[in-house]
Each structure stands twice: as structure tokens, then as C-alpha cells.
Amino acid sequence: MRKKILLVTACLILLCGCGQNPIDAKFDSEINTFCESVSTIGARMDAIEVDAEESSIRYAASDLLSCLDELEVEFMKFSHIDFPEEFDYLEDMADEAGQYMAEAAASYHRAYEDGYHREMEEYARENYTRACRRVTVILALLRGEDIENLQQ
């Protein structure tokens, strides 16, 4: 009798997919993939070293721009994630994050490719910050956290 109960329980668990809704599982997977990708790119950005030499600065700028291009791709993928119905209200903010990162990447290119343009870099940094801020808010809301206490 005990073996039959265990077998029935195991079958029910397998048939129910361990209680995970396939839509939620896909969404969770996409969010986790985004976070892992952005984390990896961020670590590469943090590891960029710049010496005082002209060639080092060019290579560092090239590496930074390459990372920003990758971030743009990841943020655009993020903006196209289909959020579950309960989080539909976050889709516009995800779209904004993608748009801000696209503008940041393009602006960083303009800031560094033909010499250095400080004003363009500031504009790029502002867009980058806006994109990251929106993702931070989205992730906090998905975790059920209070966003009023998020650092500005």
C-alpha cells in the first residue's frame, strides 16, 4: 500500500511538472539568462584596464564599446520578454530600459570614436543609468520588494 501511494505521488508530481507553470518557467528562465549575461558583461567591463599610453586607451575604449554593444543586445532581448499577466505593467518599463541602453551604446560610440567628447559621454552615462535603474526596479518588483527604498 505504501509503495502504491509513493508511486501515485511520484506520477502526480511528474504529470504536474512539479507545480511550475510553463509560462512562468519560460519567463523565469529568460530573466535568469538576462541577469547572468549582464553580470558577465559587467564583470568584463570592470576588468578593463587603462594605462596612460595612447594605445592602451584606444584598446580600453574599444573593449568598453564592445561590451556596451553586447549590453544593448541583452537589454533589447529583455525588452521583448513576454511578462506573465500579473507583471504586464512592467513591460513598458522593460521597453524603456532597452531604448535607454540602445541610446547609451550609440552615444558612447559617438563620445569615443572621433576623439573624446565629454558632453556626449555624460549624455551616454545618463542613458546608461536610466536603463540600469529601470531594470533594477523591475527586478525588485518581481521579487516583491519595496522600491521606495532603492538607492537613487
pLDDT tens figures, 12-30: 343 344 445 666 889 999 9
DSSP label at residue 20: -
20, amino acid identity: Q
pLDDT digits 0-9 by tens, 100-122: 999 999 999 999 988 889 999 99
Q: Which residue has the cell 549575461?
A: 37
Q: So what's the pLDDT on residue 23?
A: 61
Q: Look up the pTM and report it.
A: 0.82
Q: 134 pLDDT exceeds 60?
A: yes
Distance CA 59, CA 53 (A): 10
pLDDT band at 70 (very low <50, low <70, confident <90, very high): very high
pLDDT band at 95 (very low <50, low <70, confident <90, very high): very high
pLDDT band at 49 (very low <50, low <70, confident <90, very high): confident
